[in-house]
Chains A and B, each alone.
Chain A
């Protein structure tokens, strides 16, 4: 019997494709945001607002991840933005290879920022790098303030967290203090935003953050 040392990351295949994606995005000057949250927290609504705010300043494209439908992609398509739909047919997250194939459908030379809306799920998307510059997670007030402590990895890996449906907070038992405390304990440097898509609140702050991050990247 022989023992052979292998010492290989089990997500190596995904990691390699992810690094390759990142290289292509960097060469083409495309800034990539991986947007993650549970279903129904408002990812698509936030995207619609952000797109409307930014579309006169920069060229935007979107990759929509969804298990079965093209409903979200249709909403983005209505804004006149290039969009590619990935249907995972049961899978719980997007992986680097899906993004590689989806991005081949886009004219990367004519895109400044690519938003990737991940499959609605607070668990698996956090484990898979897809070639993004930053991860942003969304939580809505109606989901409850205990979610960061129940699903820590996503908040740990995010550069920013958006607390959405802030206009509804008084109808819920959402504890903002607990939420911010938990998120900070997971990730001390995380940026935090509060938004309401129905009242169009907080979108400007969020967009300034995204623009600042894009600038930081081009300065490097």
Chain B
């Protein structure tokens, strides 16, 4: 029987990934200061804005993103019914087509956890 050990915290790891991407993008584009980071977070992603902001405030200090604005855009959850050929709003507990009441064929949005753009100079 073998044992492996690793230390890892959830919200912090998401923000760490964000800061890595921001830092690399800044270097590639010759930015020396980041003003704003634009995130797109799906409303059903299960990620809490407050937790993200807290982690961001805690670990962005030593990076180019220090003092920048974290702009979080919430993305509405939508699904699609192929039979009725329509797109509609869904929730965790309601993914039924409003016209034919069939379970949606595909989920189009609402689970995003992504960085959209960064602004800087």
A126 to B10, CA, bound (A): 12
- Report chain A residues within 8 Å CB of B39: 10
Enumerate chain B residues within 8 angstroms of A83, measured Cβ to Cβ. Answer: 1
Contact A182 B1 (CB under 8 A): no
Interface size class of B (residues with CB under 8 A): 35 or more
**B2/A85 in contact, CB under 8 A:** yes
Instruction: For chain B, residues 14 to 71, give those with C-beta under 8 angstroms from any C-beta of chain A.
Output: 14, 17-18, 20-22, 25, 29, 31, 35, 39, 44-47
Distance (whole angstroms) from the CB of A102 to the closest CB of chain B: 6
Q: Does A8 contact B (CB under 8 A)?
A: yes
Report yes or no: B113 in contact with A124, Cβ–Cβ below 8 A: no
Decide yes or no whether A95 CB sits under 8 A from chain B.
yes
Whether, in the assembled complex, A101 has its beta carbon less than 8 Å from a beta carbon of chain B, the answer is yes
Report whether B1 and A74 are in contact in the complex, using a CB–CB cutoff of 8 Å: yes
CB pair B4–A102 under 8 Å, yes or no, is yes
Compute how far the CA of A185 lies from the CA of B93 in the bound complex, rounded to whole angstroms. Answer: 5
Indicate which residue in A11, A70, A186, A188 contacts B113 across the interface (CB closer than 8 Å): A11
- In the complex, which residues 85-100 of chain B have their Cβ closer than 8 Å to any Cβ of chain A? 92-95
Stretch at the interface among A23-31, A148-156, A161-169: A148-156
How many chain A residues touch B (CB < 8 A): the figure is 46
Cross-chain contact B8 with A95 (CB below 8 angstroms):
yes
Known: A84-B2, A105-B2. A6 touches B117 (CB 8 A): yes
Q: Which residue of A lies closest to B29 (CB)?
A: A4
Expressed in whole angstroms, the Cα–Cα distance for A9 and B22 within the complex equals: 12
B96 nearest in chain A by CB position: A185
Q: How far is the CB of B56 from chain A (nearest CB, A)?
A: 12
Chain B interface, >50% SS class: mixed
Separation in Å of the B2 CB from the closest CB of chain A? Answer: 5
Q: How far is the CB of B37 from chain A (nearest CB, A)?
A: 9
Contact B1 A73 (CB under 8 A): yes
Q: Of A10, A73, A91, A152, which is within 8 A of B115 by CB? A: A10
Chain B residues whose C-beta falls within 8 Å of the C-beta of A85 in the assembled complex: 1-4
A90 to B9, CA, bound (A): 8
State whether the Cβ of A127 lies closer than 8 Å to any Cβ in chain B. Answer: yes
Q: Which residues of A contact B7 (CB under 8 A)?
A: 88-91
A92 within 8 Å of B (CB atoms): yes
Partner of A70, one of B1, B13, B14: B1
Chain A residue numbers with a CB within 8 Å of B103 are 188
Query: Across the interface, do A126 and B46 meet the contact criterion of CB distance under 8 Å?
Result: yes
Asked whether any CB of chain B lies closer than 8 Å to the CB of A216, the reply is no
Chain A residue at smallest Cβ distance from B102: A188
Asked whether A198 is an interface residue with its Cβ less than 8 Å from the other chain, the reply is: no
Known A6-B22, A91-B9; 9 more pairs at CB < 8 Å:
A4-B31, A4-B117, A10-B14, A13-B20, A88-B7, A91-B10, A97-B6, A98-B6, A156-B92
A-B CB proximity, top 7 nearest: A91-B8, A188-B103, A152-B92, A185-B93, A3-B119, A85-B3, A105-B2
Q: List 13 A-B contacts (CB under 8 A).
A: A1-B121, A7-B115, A10-B115, A70-B1, A70-B3, A74-B1, A77-B1, A83-B1, A84-B2, A85-B4, A90-B8, A102-B4, A127-B45
